[in-house]
Amino acid sequence: MRRFYRGRDLSRVHSVAELADMARRRLPYFAWEYLSGGAQDELTLTDNLDGFSAYGLHARAMVPCHPPATARAVLGRVLPVPLLIGPTGYNGLLHRDADIHLARAATARGLPFCLSTAANTSLEALVAAVPEVNLWFQLYAMGDPRVQNDLLRRAAAVGSRTLLLTCDAMVLGNREWDRRNFAKPRQLAWRNTLDVLRHPRWLQQVMWPAGLPGMGNLEPYLPLNERNALGSMAFIGRQMDSLLDWDKLARLRDQWGERLLLKGVLHPADVERAIALGLDGVVVSNHGGRQLDGAPSSLAALAAVAPQARGRLSLLLDGGIRRGSDIVKALALGADAVLLGRATLYGVAVAGEAGAGRALDLLTQELVQTLNLMGCTHLSHLGRDNLWERRR
């Protein structure tokens, strides 16, 4: 009988899907839904995964299987593999100090870690815990310029030299299944409260001793009596700048003198505007299928924008990476690197740093194996001629 492993020995976990199954069983349902769900009918969430299965890989014969060259320069820094842990918010719902665990897993493997504005761990606390981290910072545009300016000051002060501005979440997507877990905003329905009690490991891993964590980056701007989970959520809901536009991005480009990328790009015309503003890169992303349902899959959008970006700015992809072969397909279609979201979150929910590290190691091993099986000796050799379109 085929079934995933159900124990605790991470060496017996053989795929990101297996980590996801373990996370599903270990998390209360409302936390699993927050992690895994999407907007409305979840068309884009599904397409993000199916988009990779639309492509097959060509294999060349009689190529010796030496270890392939997987290193790649991304934004001026050579990475051992072209991936990093991307920004995700409120990871403390999965594991206490999840942001720190993720950063440690990435740093131990020479990879960057991107901290979200909505992280539970602050910029300062993260760098104190992981001093060697290659820290990127993701910014949600704030309605109060004093708050945004201070976030930028703090990011620079702790050594972050790469900023990602997220542009696809000015209003929140309609995540219906997530909302059905609550009787009213931020108050669990009774059945979900009972379900939480059935997960004592999660209660110890997340809730003990002080309950749900607040958002560490936002705490300095909250009244003392609102420096908690509910206060942080209410604050970021009020502060999100729903009037973000290209003029404001141009001002941010002038203000932030280091590397600046725009995250949430899906259309070739937006790549052209990013180039015109002098951005260093764009992240092709539909927010993991959690915003506009019906938006193109990340891989389909990548194929559409790659001709505009090639050689003019860095092109990264976010969304749907579950296999090393997915990374190969993204690189073949023009991506310089990929960002991981759910893949490493499944791992951190299961076993903190060790679980996130297992996800990174599995993807790296699969990447190497895929290249060997294809007869591809160097990432620079990848292109569209390595792909063929499968009938669906």
> What is the CB neighbour count within 10 angstroms for residue 299?
27
Instruction: Write down the catalytic residue from 95, 101, 199, 287.
Output: 287
Q: Known binder of ligand: residue 290?
A: yes
Residue 341 labelled as part of a binding site: yes
253 is in an annotated binding site: no
Instruction: For residue 263, say whether it is annotated as part of any ligand binding site.
Output: yes
Query: Which residues are within 8 A (CB) of 375 and not within 5 positions of it... i.e. 6 or more apart?
Result: 59, 60, 61, 62, 63
Q: Is 291:326 a contact under the CB 8 Å cutoff?
A: no
Helix, strand, or coil here: 220?
A: helix
76 known member of a binding site: no
Q: Classify 135 as helix, strand or coil.
A: strand
One-letter amino acid identity for 192? N
Q: CA–CA separation, 101 vs 98, rounded Å?
A: 5
Q: How far apart are the C-alpha atoms of 313 and 74, rounded to whole Å?
A: 11
User: Is 355 within any annotated ligand binding site?
Assistant: no
Query: Is residue 248 a known part of a binding site?
Result: no
- The answer for residues whose C-beta is within 8 angstroms of residue 205's C-beta and 6 or more apart is 95, 96
Q: Is 116 part of any known ligand binding site? A: yes
Is position 318 annotated in a ligand binding site? yes
- Kindly provide the residue ranges of all beta strands, DSSP E only, lying in the chain, ordered along the sequence: 55-57, 72-74, 77-79, 83-85, 113-116, 135-140, 162-166, 182-184, 187-188, 259-265, 281-284, 314-318, 337-340, 387-389
Q: Is 322 annotated as a binding residue?
A: yes
Do residues 284 and 316 lie in contact, with contact meaning Cβ atoms separated by under 8 Å? yes
287 part of the active site:
yes
Is 166 annotated to bind a ligand? Reply is yes
Q: Is 34 annotated as a binding residue?
A: yes
Q: What one-letter code names the amino acid at 73? A: A
Which residues participate in the annotated binding site for FMN? 87-89, 116, 138, 166, 285, 318-322, 341-342
Which residues participate in the annotated binding site for glyoxylate? 34, 140, 175, 263, 287, 290
Active-site residue set:
287
